[in-house]
Amino acid sequence: MAAAPAAEVLIVSLGATEGLRHGDGELCECLRQAGAEVALARARRPRELPTLALTDLAWALSARACATAALTRMSRPPRAIIYSSTTAALLWPAPGAIRFDAPASGNRPGRHGLWQRPLERRRLSQAPLLLPWSEGAMAELAPSVRRDAEALVLPVSASPSGPAGERDIAVLTYGANPLKKGLDRLLAAWRRLREEDPRAGAWELLIAGTSEEELARAGLDAAIAPGARVLGPLSSEEYRALLRRARVFACAPRREDYGIAQLEALADGCQLVTTPAPGPYAALALAHELDPRLVGEDLTRALRTALADPLPGYAARASVLLEPYSRGAVERLVAEELVPRLLA
């Protein structure tokens, strides 16, 4: 939660997920590289609560306390504040820009967003600048907000993490928040593949980013899928090293707010097998353009196709499509467009 004594830009980081933490750290680095003085204030994780509405309230209160403390400690007010996520901005102590992967209007339907959605509309309308991660995130806003907002699409980057290794892993998936990620659907497809294809006995599905305990709480048991292995939580370096060895990254999300894991998989040379999903799923259109056979509800067929009949040149074409998501592209966007707008 510590903030610098003085800064031009204060980033209030919610950091509720690995993707949010990665995006906030990258933005901080890019702003500093562009010459801005930046302070990063991280909200404290609240205790687990039984509903999304209560969880969002706890995070919003934590973000407010974090921002208030940072502003109080600073020797002079920052010229700009960036709230990372609409949740971080809901109870803000002072207006600022809002960066978000998806709004509550899209990912908090019904009772899950009963109090968040109307307050979010107000905050988005009051913000001097909106920084959606994707065009899809902007499209989920209310028409009145989209019409009047000053906005800059600012992706979280996905660049290769290192030289590719031997592709000795058949399939890798990321299983944090397993039911939202559709891990149950992926495991069912994997079981069918093992039953139907004699070649599948030599293939293994590795599940990263979750534990057997978390899967058990979600009602899943990876042991019932032969050839599937749970790796547990991994460091970013360990996880990206696995991506460089994997032939396929597979997922079946029920909703996708951005899909940094899928973009990173493409950046590290994996084929992407995925079901379509609602939400601002940035990698979905890329996956369909690269090989439409690997995108659809029939995951078993898509997995078999990716492993047994891959299209040549897939990784090279993916690197071209990912150029707008490269670290260099994000750095240029921050230096040439974001900093002048923030500090004007």
- Quick check: 2 pLDDT over 60? no
Please, is 107 exposed, middle or buried when counting C-beta atoms within 10 Å of its C-beta (0-12, 13-18, 19+)?
buried
CATH 3.40.50.2000 maps onto the chain at 9-156+326-342, 169-324
Per-residue confidence band for 221, with pLDDT thresholds at 50, 70 and 90: confident
For the chain, the maximum distance between any two Cα atoms, rounded to a whole number of angstroms, is 68
Residue 47: count of CB within 10 angstroms of its CB: 6
- The better pLDDT of the pair 224, 91 is held by 91
Contacts for 65-71: CB closer than 8 Å, 24+ residues apart: 66/1, 66/12, 66/41, 66/42, 67/10, 67/12, 67/41, 67/92, 67/93, 67/94, 68/93, 69/1, 69/3, 69/41, 70/1, 70/3, 70/10, 70/12, 70/39, 70/41, 71/3, 71/10
Distance set, CA 190 to CA 167, 209, 243, 291, 298 (Å) = 19, 18, 19, 20, 11
Taking residues 289-309, what's their average pLDDT? Answer: 98
Percent of the chain with pLDDT over 70: 98
The Cα 283–Cα 289 span in angstroms is: 10
- Model confidence, pTM: 0.93
The Cα 212–Cα 64 span in angstroms is: 34
The Cα 228–Cα 207 span in angstroms is: 7
Comparing C-alpha atoms, which of 103, 110, 108, 104 is closest to residue 138? Answer: 103
* Domain 169-324 architecture: 3-Layer(aba) Sandwich (3.40)
Instruction: State residue 1's pLDDT score.
Output: 42
- Inter-helix orientation angle 260-267/18-33, to 10°: 70
Instruction: State residue 225's pLDDT score.
Output: 80
- Tokens 């921050």 belong to which residue? 334
Written as six digits, the tokens of 87 are: 């949740």
The Cα 103–Cα 142 span in angstroms is: 10
- Quick check: 222 pLDDT over 70? no
CB of 215 closer than 8 Å to CB of 186: no
Beta bridge pairs of residue 132? 100
What is the per-residue DSSP string for 69-90?
HHHHHSSS--SEEEEESHHHHT
- Quick check: 4 pLDDT over 70? no
Residue 63: count of CB within 10 angstroms of its CB: 29
CATH homologous superfamily for the domain 9-156+326-342: Glycogen Phosphorylase B; (3.40.50.2000)
The Cα 97–Cα 248 span in angstroms is: 37
Residue 327: count of CB within 10 angstroms of its CB: 16
The arrangement of strands across the sheet holding 80-84 comes to 38-42, 9-13, 80-84, 97-100, 130-132
- Quick check: 320 pLDDT over 90? yes
Instruction: State residue 3's pLDDT score.
Output: 41
Comparing C-alpha atoms, which of 318, 264, 320 is closest to residue 290? Answer: 318
Per-residue confidence band for 145, with pLDDT thresholds at 50, 70 and 90: very high
Comparing C-alpha atoms, which of 145, 141, 144, 193 is closest to residue 170? Answer: 193
